[in-house]
Amino acid sequence: MNKTIADIAQMAGVAKSTVSRFLNGGSVSENTRQKIERIIKQYNYVPNTFARSLKAKKTSIIGTVVPRLDSYATSQTLMGIDEELRQLHYQMLIANTSQDMQREIDAIYDFARQKVSGIILLAAEITDAHLKAIEDIQIPVLLVGQQHESLHSLIHHDDQAGYVMGKHVIEQGHRDIVYLGVSEKDQAVGIHRKRGFQRAIAECNDCNVRYYETSFKMSEAVVTAENILGKNMPTLIVAATDNIAMGVMKTAFSRSISIPQQLSVTGFGDYDITEMIHPTLTTVKYHYSQAGKLAAGHISQLVEGQSVRLKTILDVELISRESVDKL
């Protein structure tokens, strides 16, 4: 049977309130402090979380909302968050929403009901419903991977990513390019990443770029790529994610188009796998795990009432590998 604070108090010969004070770092005389400490050690006493939360109306739990679990970006970010939160003595709770926006909203309210201290939100899109939920719950929220003017956020420098990639492929001599992007509903990938790329292209006089759109799924990217490669082929395809890039490569292989000799391909993300495939993929590295750690730090500061800059931007890094031919 687990001991309660009353048991400990009795055995230490003090009042419950004194034990409670000790537990919460209040002032206790050296003498009683030792007595209590000894008894707690001896019986391996651990306070009941529910009783504590019921009374204190808060917890040391940080809720993390993720759109999916089976993505490199998500799992890396989660691992970073988890690791850092552990250091800070917070617990991480994960809610997976399977890309269902309503579940995202529900998850926010659910977390509030469970009295989490803070919420880290990995969402592709911030709608009014999100804003309302965040407003309603009165709990610190940190956005990761997306930004919103009225919310604390931590983002990757998508614009820069698009720009350096654009610059790179132009430098490599490519002029006939296809940019295979995703819906603009995704602010970070759909808009900023593309904008950055367009900035680079704007600085090129004789570049011819066609824009296509696909989804984040590799299988759909394959289909879109079929379409692109069936007509007049560009010298290079800039895919908006590594996943999409792999879909493109797949299609190229099945059509016996050799990469990079006949077609160059690039991605974004630097997933582990991109270094293992053949040819290795030129991409832009995103520091997901570091983003997770930073996010954990920021949310804990927010929870503890410290101020945190509204927007933090993480640098990205071009990784030049074999999938781009020098023309």
Partner DNA sequence: CTGAAAGCGCTTACAG
Positions in the binding site for DNA (CB under 7 A): 2, 4-6, 13-18, 20-21, 23-24, 26-29, 31-33, 45-48, 51-52, 54-56
State which residue, 17 or 254, has the beta carbon closest to DNA.
17
Q: Which of 238, 245, 239 is nearest to 280 (CA)?
A: 245
Q: Does 72 bind a copy of itself (CB under 8 A)?
A: yes
Restricting to residues 38-67, name those near a copy of itself by CB under 8 A.
Answer: 46, 48-51, 53-54
Q: How far is the CB of 206 from a copy of itself (least distance, A)?
A: 33
State which residue, 23 or 233, has the beta carbon closest to DNA.
23
d(C-alpha 230, C-alpha 303), whole Å: 54
The binder of 29, among DNA, a copy of itself, none, by C-beta within 5 to 8 A per type, is DNA
CA torsion through residues 171, 174, 180, 183, sign: positive
For residue 150, the tally of other CB atoms under 10 A from its CB is: 10
Q: How far is the CB of 296 from DNA (least distance, A)?
A: 23
Q: Does 253 bind a copy of itself (CB under 8 A)?
A: yes
d(C-alpha 290, C-alpha 102), whole Å: 29
d(C-alpha 31, C-alpha 266), whole Å: 67
Peptide bond into 260 cis (omega under 30): yes
Q: Which residues pair with 155 in a beta bridge?
A: 313
The number of angstroms, rounded, from the C-alpha of 161 to the middle of its chain's C-alpha atoms is: 16
Please report, in angstroms and rounded to a whole number, the separation of the first and last CA atoms in the chain.
75
Q: Does 87 bind a copy of itself (CB under 8 A)?
A: no
The binder of 27, among a copy of itself, DNA, none, by C-beta within 5 to 8 A per type, is DNA
Q: How far is the CB of 116 from DNA (least distance, A)?
A: 16
Q: How far is the CB of 79 from a copy of itself (least distance, A)?
A: 5
**Which one of 109-117, 132-140, 181-189, 312-320 is the stretch in contact with a copy of itself (CB under 8 A)?**
109-117
For residue 108, the tally of other CB atoms under 10 A from its CB is: 27
Q: Does 137 bind a copy of itself (CB under 8 A)?
A: no
Q: Which residues contact 70 (CB under 8 A, 6 or more apart)?
A: none
Residues that bind a copy of itself (CB under 8 A): 46, 48-51, 53-54, 68-70, 72, 75-76, 78-79, 82-83, 92-94, 96, 98, 113-115, 218, 222, 246-247, 249-250, 253-254, 272-273, 276-278
